[in-house]
Amino acid sequence: MGILEVKGVGKRFGGLQALSDVNLSVAENTVHAIIGPNGAGKSTLLNCFVGKLIPDTGSVMFNGESVLGRKPHEINQMGISRVFQTPEIFTDLTVMENVMISCFAHRDGAFRLHPFETVAHETDIIEQAEKMLLDVNMADKRNMHAASLSRGDKRRLEMAMCLAQEPRLLLLDEPTAGMARADTNNTIDLLKEIKEKRDITMAIIEHDMHVVFSLAERITVLAQGTPLVEDTPENIKGHPKVKEAYLGESV
Amino acid sequence: MKILGLSAKDTRFLLIVIFLTLATPILLQPFPEGSGLATFNAGYPDLMQRFAIFGIFAIGFNILFGLTGYLSFGHAAFLGVGSYTVVWMYKLLDYNVVWGLPLAVITSGIFALLIGFVSLRRSGIYFSILTLAFAQMSYNLAYSVLTPITNGETGLQVYSSDSQVLLGASEPTTPHFFGIVMRDNFWQPNFGGWQFTFNNGYYFTAIIAIIVFYISLRIFRSPFGLMLRAIKTNQTRLNYTGINTRPYTLAAFVISGMYAGLAGGLMAAMDPLAGAERMQWTASGEVVLMVILGGAGTLMGPILGAGFIKYFENIFSKINDQILQGWFSWMPDWLSGLLIEISHFFVGKSWHLTLGLLFMLVVIFLPGGLVEAGQRIARLFKKKPPENGGKGSDHHPQPAPHVAE
Amino acid sequence: MDAIILQILNGLDKGSAYALIALGLTLIFGTLGVVNFAHGALFMIGAFVAVTVQRFLGFSFEQIDPDKTDFLGNPLKVKVTYVESWFGPEVGGTIVDWSVPVAVLVAIPIMLLVGFVMERGLIKHFYKRPHADQILVTFGLAIVLQELIKYFYGANPIQTPAPSAFKGSFDFGVLVGFDPNAIIYPYWRLVYFAFAVVVLGAVFAFLRFTTFGMVVRAGMADRETVGLLGINIDKRFTIMFGIAAAVAGIAGVMYTPILSPNYHMGMDFLVLSFVVVVVGGMGSLPGAVAAGFLLGILQSFASMNEIKSLIPGIDQVIIYLVAIIILLTRPRGLLGRAGVMED
């Protein structure tokens, strides 16, 4: 029984069957990659996990509870954090404030009216946020404006914000999209480091095979909205069906 | 020094605001009576009261618009609700404002809760239009069907036939606070041509303004305030960080509505009248203007903006041909005639034109408002490079070198 | 039945004005992505072009009329407008009488110019700014324009009569088979409706059947792609802004016999037109037109005494109530696209 259990999920947009009968099980404390060519339905599937889309059929269970019909913030509070393709951070705030918001969300839940407390007096939150920034090597940038960070740093910051919530499942939507090779490698190292330091399950959607094979323990190949194979990286490499999906039938 | 749970910097900031507020009757009276520049004096009770009242209105509006970025075009409705509540308490109980003002805050809070609950289901321009629609509805209803409550075009006021059950025999028959009559002056000294007026009503509103400014300062520095700023920046990320944004925005909306209700109540506390025109959308536009002009999202901005607009409304609309001729009398006739003609566009009845122009110039060249202007000037003098990208200091503004009411 | 028809007719002229203003608003929003709070002011400027034209045509000089004498037998001086003296009393008199339609011809180039200047001088710099900034700067501009008009024309409404041929009312009921006096309708309102239909038809035809219109529509759907095709979309959008300004302007000109122009009429109409645009669906041209007429007619129904006695005050709030209901149940408006202006 995996921490994330997807059964028979289907989703239709008008005349397009984006997903059909997707079954997937992500085991706890593993890194599970979902790969596939463009338009295979990877992002649609991810959006079904986080509450942005509701599938027409099937079920998505996280830790034994259904996530369907819940709002994004409720699903997040269940223990699922998400990293976006282009980093979504609070650009008007400082790096430190960005991470502190995650810490508050983790401690206080979806809503708490605390208009007369003072951020500067929340020592435990500050400590926690600083520790998080140390973890991603951004402690020296804590007072910088998030908008002025480099793209790689924005990615790190977003990662720190997600990890500050101590999620059980981290979803990564093409975390290295549009990055230079050096940045990509840095991100891979960062993710490896994160994985070493804590018990966390990661589900990665990725285009870049270099990233996938450096990180993933299990890989699901998606093509035309349905899983083709699921196996270990070794077995996926050179799998005829995978080649076919990526390169067409001529191979 | 730290007081009231504030940092050293904020304490200093609060003390400056307190000083400036309490010293207003002196600071705004820099020119001796009878001098050519006496027109620019603003230290008379009626105007100072308006500074404080609109300051409160703007401070409250800033909590919604400045922090969350939700642009409401309907906050004047709460202003009207506050005024009506206070006048009704005069009619039913007596002229002591102690009954009406808290109730004004509560009723406007309830109104804000209802309107906010519906309007906040949408964002962006749709939110603006929804709030506008609600305010215009209230305004139109106040003029028509609700006449029994609002007294329609005449405006709500106290009549001798009203019950006023608590009215004692020796009690004042104008608004007062336990016998302190609002419109009375407690001291009117004259120092060699300089005339100062210390008015009960002004100090009453000023003390309330200081209290609500302190509350807004605390909100700015609180985790709640941090969340509101995060809402302005990136709602998507906030949702995926497990925060339910709706109750936060609703809380901000209700708080700002209560501030507006308090301001409206104070208007009726200074002058026992309430009219529907206070609810019109142009009145909502005015508070938006104040906050933008001063600097949205900053602590000092709304106060500066409110003071600036109310000051110029008063002074500019007071300037007439006689005064202009006095100023330009040393020039050749043709030049002074020309200047007076040009001035006609901007002063007297046309001062709104000045306001509109100023407003455009601010939005175009100075999106951060007067506070940003002050910071830029301060930086020029310090000759220090801007700290960490400049924009971050918006939330820790320096008191600008202006008269701060 | 006749009462219903009467209310529909009564709603048509207001609905026409809403539709014409809302069309421009949504056109500007759809093409330039700008929320223009100064659009009502353009309507108002149009109305004051009519006032100005009327004044110009009314310029007169005194002339001794040889045929008339005062009671002492001296020749009498009479006022003669210049137009009459140039074109003869017959033609000249007609021109003076028809000052409102004449003003439409004058208003078109003026409003186009105003539109171009506004777009190039101000709006252009706000394409990339947040909607709140756009609202605020155009709001400021609206105040300025309004105050300028007030400065030059005063604060009181100025009567601007329709041509005498269209003054008064006619019995519309008889034409469609009702009893006499059942539906009495002023001529000019019918003229206004017809005029609105023609203008709306012209704008839609222009957008549908010309290459220019096709590019603009494509640009509304996907600005970047059209830009990538090497088409200078900005120039076309500037022209579209001018056209939107002209539509609002001539709508204002023609409205003057119905409502004597005053300096704040722009703001009054702007608020309602914005509601119309939102109800119709931001960025949807047919939506704006449909919602304009719909709300105009609803408003006129709500002011029937029968309805008012049933729901007191409904005439005051109907438009806003409809807007609130639509926004909550159909966030995109009647005919709008998804996701427009939600940020």
Q: Does an interface of 3+ CB pairs under 8 Å exist between C and A?
A: no
Beta carbons of B137 and C317 less than 8 Å apart: yes
pTM of the predicted model as reported, rounded to 2 decimal places? 0.87
Contacts of C307 in chain B (CB under 8 A): none
Q: Contacts by B115-121 with C-beta closer than 8 Å and gap 24+?
A: B115/B74, B115/B77, B115/B253, B115/B257, B116/B249, B116/B250, B116/B253, B116/B254, B116/B257, B117/B250, B118/C324, B118/C328, B119/B72, B119/B74, B119/B253, B120/B70, B120/B246, B120/B249, B120/B250, B120/B253, B121/C328
A199-218 residue pLDDT tens: 899 999 987 888 888 889 99
- DSSP 8-state class, residue B230: H
Contacts of B281 in chain C (CB under 8 A): 271
Is the distance from CB of C279 to CB of C331 less than 8 angstroms?
no
Name the packing angle between helices C39-57 and C82-97 (round to 10°). Answer: 130
Beta carbons of C341 and B126 less than 8 Å apart: yes
Beta carbons of B239 and A76 less than 8 Å apart: yes
Beta carbons of A118 and B242 less than 8 Å apart: no
Cα separation of B295 and B56, whole Å? Answer: 15
Cα separation of B350 and B354, whole Å? Answer: 7
- Work out the pLDDT band at A247, boundaries 50, 70, 90: low
Give me the residue from B232, B241, B251 closest to A105, CB to CB. Answer: B241
CA-closest candidate to residue B292, choices B71, B48, B10, B134: B71
**Which pair of structure tokens corresponds to residue B100?**
């009406």
B292 vs C: CB within 8 A: yes
Search chain C and give the residue with CA nearest B137.
Answer: C317
Cα separation of A185 and A31, whole Å? Answer: 17
Q: Give the domain extent around B99.
A: 18-280
A10-44 residue pLDDT tens: 998 878 888 989 999 999 999 999 988 877 888 88
Most B CBs within 10 Å, among A53, A107, A111, to test the B interface: A111
The answer to whether residue B134 is domain-embedded is yes
Beta carbons of A119 and B226 less than 8 Å apart: yes
B132 vs C: CB within 8 A: yes
Q: In chain A, which among 69-98 make CB contacts under 8 A with chain B?
A: 71-74, 76-77, 81-82, 84, 88-94, 97
Residue with token string 């012209």: C202
Q: What is the pLDDT of residue B384?
A: 52
Task: Judge whether residue A163 has pLDDT over 80.
Answer: yes
Q: Contacts by C210-216 with C-beta closer than 8 Å and gap 24+?
A: C212/C236, C212/C239, C216/C31, C216/C240
Beta carbons of B224 and A114 less than 8 Å apart: yes
Q: What is the pLDDT of residue B217?
A: 93
Q: What does R_g of chain C's alpha carbons equal in angstroms?
A: 23
Beta carbons of A116 and B7 less than 8 Å apart: no
Binding partners of B (≥3 Cβ pairs within 8 A)? A, C
For the residues A168-184, what does the mean pLDDT come to? 86
Cα separation of C247 and C252, whole Å? Answer: 9
Task: Judge whether residue C343 has pLDDT over 70.
Answer: no
The residues near C131 (Cβ < 8 Å, ≥ 6 apart) are B124, B125, C35, C341, C343
DSSP bridge pairs for A230: A220
Beta carbons of B241 and A165 less than 8 Å apart: yes
Domains of chain A: 1-79+167-251 (3.40.50.300), 94-165 (no CATH)
Task: Judge whether residue C180 has pLDDT over 90.
Answer: no
Report in angstroms the alpha-carbon separations of A103 from A124, A165, A167, B242. 9, 6, 12, 11
Q: How many CB pairs under 8 A join B and C?
A: 116
Beta carbons of B357 and C140 less than 8 Å apart: yes
B376 vs C: CB within 8 A: no
Chain centroid offset of residue B320 CA: 26
Contacts of B389 in chain A (CB under 8 A): 144-145, 147-148
The residues near B174 (Cβ < 8 Å, ≥ 6 apart) are B95, B181, B182, B183, B272
Is the distance from CB of B308 to CB of B301 less than 8 angstroms?
no
Beta carbons of A148 and B389 less than 8 Å apart: yes
The answer to whether residue B312 is domain-embedded is no
Search chain C and give the residue with CA nearest B130.
Answer: C324
A126 vs B: CB within 8 A: no
Name the packing angle between helices C265-280 and C2-32 (round to 10°). Answer: 90
Lowest average pLDDT, out of A246-250, B6-10, B49-53, C249-253, goes to A246-250
For the residues C183-192, what does the mean pLDDT come to? 84
Contacts of B129 in chain C (CB under 8 A): 274-275, 278, 323, 327
Identify the top-confidence range among A110-114, B274-278, C204-208, C245-249: C245-249
Contacts of B128 in chain C (CB under 8 A): 135
Search chain C and give the residue with CA nearest B145.
Answer: C313
C150 vs B: CB within 8 A: yes
Per-residue pLDDT of chain B (405 residues; tens, 9 = 90+): 677 778 888 898 899 999 999 998 888 888 887 777 777 888 888 999 999 999 999 999 999 999 999 999 899 999 999 999 999 999 999 999 999 999 999 999 999 999 999 999 888 888 888 898 888 889 888 888 888 888 888 889 988 888 888 888 888 888 999 989 988 888 888 887 888 889 999 999 999 999 999 999 999 999 999 999 999 999 999 999 999 999 999 999 999 999 999 999 999 999 998 988 888 877 888 899 899 889 999 999 999 999 988 988 888 777 777 777 777 777 788 887 788 777 777 777 777 888 888 888 888 888 888 888 888 888 888 765 544 444 433 443 333 333 222
> What is the rounded (10 degree) CA torsion for B243, B248, B250, B254?
170
- Work out the pLDDT band at C70, boundaries 50, 70, 90: confident
Task: Judge whether residue A165 has pLDDT over 80.
Answer: yes
pLDDT greater at residue C129 or residue B18: B18
pLDDT greater at residue B217 or residue C335: B217
Which residue type sits at B162? D
Q: What is the pLDDT of residue A75?
A: 93
C27-52 residue pLDDT tens: 888 877 888 889 999 999 999 999 99
Cα separation of B298 and B295, whole Å? Answer: 6
C140 vs B: CB within 8 A: yes
Beta carbons of A115 and B224 less than 8 Å apart: yes
A124 vs B: CB within 8 A: no
Cα separation of C199 and C22, whole Å? Answer: 13
CA-closest candidate to residue C274, choices C209, C182, C341, C219: C341
Q: Say how many domains are in chain B.
A: 1
Is the distance from CB of C292 to CB of C280 less than 8 angstroms?
yes
Binding partners of C (≥3 Cβ pairs within 8 A)? B
Task: Judge whether residue C339 has pLDDT over 60.
Answer: no
The helix/strand/coil state of B261 is helix
The answer to whether residue B367 is domain-embedded is no
Beta carbons of B129 and C267 less than 8 Å apart: no
Beta carbons of A73 and B242 less than 8 Å apart: yes
Cα separation of C107 and C102, whole Å? Answer: 9
**Which pair of structure tokens corresponds to residue B138?**
């209230």
Q: Does an interface of 3+ CB pairs under 8 Å exist between A and B?
A: yes
Closest Cα of chain B to C316: distance in Å?
Answer: 6
The helix/strand/coil state of A11 is strand
A147-162 residue pLDDT tens: 999 888 898 899 999 9
CA-closest candidate to residue B92, choices B171, B181, B167: B167
Give me the residue from B219, B233, B248 closest to A92, CB to CB. Answer: B233
Q: What is the pLDDT of residue A248?
A: 61
Search chain B and give the residue with CA nearest A149.
Answer: B389
Task: Judge whether residue C300 has pLDDT over 80.
Answer: yes
Beta carbons of A118 and B229 less than 8 Å apart: no
Q: What is the pLDDT of residue B397?
A: 37
Give me the residue from B241, B389, B392 closest to A101, CB to CB. Answer: B241
Question: φ and ψ at B228, to 5 degrees?
Answer: -65, -40
Closest Cα of chain B to A154: distance in Å?
Answer: 13
Q: What does R_g of chain B's alpha carbons equal in angstroms?
A: 22
